[in-house]
Amino acid sequence: MEVVSGTLYAVEESIRTKLIAVGATSKEKAATSQEANLDIQEQNWIHYIAGGLFANVKKTTDGRFYVAIHN
């Protein structure tokens, strides 16, 4: 279980970094997985990672993603 949670954490951090790099920091600025240059592993995990109530990565209704940054 520790290996899975470590992998999930690493993939989530990679996704967050890539979304922030393309400026996807709000619903209005959300990016597709292609625009964020997500690799295959990240694309496979993003639907699991994104969208939960307390998730930092959010998904829009039209399938774009952004990082919820709170000031």
d(CA 50, CA 33): 12
Structure-token pair, residue 22:
């393309």
Domain with 46, as residue range(s), is 2-67
Count structural domains, the chain. Answer: 1
CA 24, CA 62: separation in Å to the nearest integer?
14
- Write down the pLDDT at residue 11: 92
Task: Give percent of the chain with pLDDT exceeding 90.
Answer: 70
Question: Tens of pLDDT along 1-13?
Answer: 566 678 888 999 9
Is it the case that residue 17 has pLDDT exceeding 90?
yes
Please tell me the pTM assigned to this model: 0.88
Residues 6+ apart with CB under 8 A from 41: 11
Alpha helices in the chain (DSSP H): 2-21, 40-49
